[in-house]
Amino acid sequence: MFNEDLKFATDQLHAVGFLELDVDPTLDLVGEINALKKQKNAIILAHYYQTGDIQDVADYLGDSLGLAQQAAKTEADLILFAGVHFMAETAKILNPSKKVLLPDLKAGCSLADSAPAALFAKFKEEHPEHLVISYINCTAEIKAMSDIICTSSNAVKIVESLPKDQPILFAPDKNLGAWINKTTGRNMTLWDGSCMVHEIFSLEKITALMHEHPDAEFIAHPECEAELLELAHYIGSTTALLNYTQKSAAQKFIVGTETGIMHQMELASPDKTFIPAPPTNNCACNDCPHMKRNTLEKVYLALKYEQPELLMDENLRMAALKPMQRMLDLSASFGL
């Protein structure tokens, strides 16, 4: 399905000439983007893993739960999602009548890709008594096969709201699933998927950094592996990590998640120091290559030409909406 999406995306880009278009380097992109937003009653929803310049033009910036909640309530006619494919899909699931744009349709997700729909259907069939909870970082097809969607900020509460003897399948992130199992004392059956960005962190290098900076707190996203999470002073979603850095008395943080979030951490606490947690090799692997496919130029082009648009089969959308709505209703009942 995803390959078909990619082909469709490339065709679309050729159709509107994006692949040939160069943006005039003297153009005031921020000014143009703001004018287009106004003219088209458009909203830019951006995830914290986007580059700082994209974060700065966003109308709403947040973690996956916040972004889904904003997508559900926006009155804009046009939604530009500065994030990855599953996030734009989420916006479309919640907004069938609105045009949803993703600046680069190739912005995928290794975690979503780790759960192909056919294999997941088989896994589900093998566990007929189980309730399926899927992390929002999955395709619309997986969502459609799920009972409840969750994000890193509501997963523990959602699992705790279910009867203790309820068997649960959790997909696709085994690290988040293991952390929820540990936190709640449950024994959910986990799909074997993971995020390439959060699995690349080096335990050895982080331990060395912690020795070098004994005054620093190590903060981590629950998509990290268990042995890393054991070292962490605080674990949470991107929004939770950002909030924590503001209220903690610590002046220095080793940040165990994608580097984009550091833009907001530095803006909110300019006197504090943020050190990106190092990956196992020397590349910038803790930058998500999918998130970073979006650029300010592509945001401008997408708004100007209203392409590439995220399209979805209506039956699939309706099936995926049910567990999404359940997540939104549960989150509201928890006061999230």
Interacting residue ranges for ligand 13P, rule: CB under 6 A: 63-64, 137, 151-152, 195, 221, 223, 237-238
Q: Which is nearer to ligand 13P, 63 or 141 (CB)?
A: 63
In whole angstroms, the minimum distance from the beta carbon of 255 to ligand 13P comes to: 13
Contact 293, 267 (CB under 8 A): no
Q: Which is nearer to ligand 13P, 35 or 268 (CB)?
A: 268
Can you tell me the distance from the alpha carbon of 266 to that of 232, in angstroms, rounded to the nearest whole number? 20
Among 174, 290, 298, 317, binds ligand SF4 (CB under 6 A): 290
Helix spans in 45-184 (H): 52-57, 64-73, 85-94, 110-113, 117-125, 140-144, 155-160, 174-184
The pattern of x and - marking residues 244 through 273 that bind ligand SF4 according to CB under 6 A reads --------------x---------------
In whole angstroms, the minimum distance from the beta carbon of 175 to ligand 13P comes to: 11
Stretch that binds ligand SF4, among 2-10, 97-105, 192-200, 317-325 (CB under 6 A): 192-200
Cα-based distances in Å from 174 to 12, 106, 180: 35, 24, 10
In whole angstroms, the minimum distance from the beta carbon of 286 to ligand 13P comes to: 12
Tokens 């983007």 sit at which residue? 33
Helix, coil or strand: residue 170: strand
Region 92-131 residues binding ligand SF4, contact defined as CB under 6 A: 109-111
Can you tell me the distance from the alpha carbon of 67 to that of 305, in angstroms, rounded to the nearest whole number? 23
Region 26-85 residues binding ligand SF4, contact defined as CB under 6 A: 49, 84
Among 43, 197, 232, 241, binds ligand SF4 (CB under 6 A): 197
CB burial of 2-11 (b: ≥16 within 10 Å; e: otherwise) equals: beebeeebee
Closest among 274, 266, 245, 289 to 107, alpha carbons compared = 289
Residue 94 interacts, among ligand 13P, ligand SF4, none and using kind-specific CB cut-offs from 5 to 8 Å, with none
Contact 49, 291 (CB under 8 A): yes
Half-sphere exposure of 208 (CA within 13 A, CB side): 8
Residue 110 interacts, among ligand 13P, ligand SF4, none and using kind-specific CB cut-offs from 5 to 8 Å, with ligand SF4
In whole angstroms, the minimum distance from the beta carbon of 290 to ligand 13P comes to: 8
Please name every residue paired with 135 in a beta bridge, in sequence order, or none if there are none: 150
Q: Which is nearer to ligand SF4, 44 or 76 (CB)?
A: 44
Among 51, 74, 134, 137, binds ligand SF4 (CB under 6 A): 137
Site residues (vs ligand SF4, CB under 6 A): 49, 84, 109-111, 137, 195-197, 258, 288, 290-291
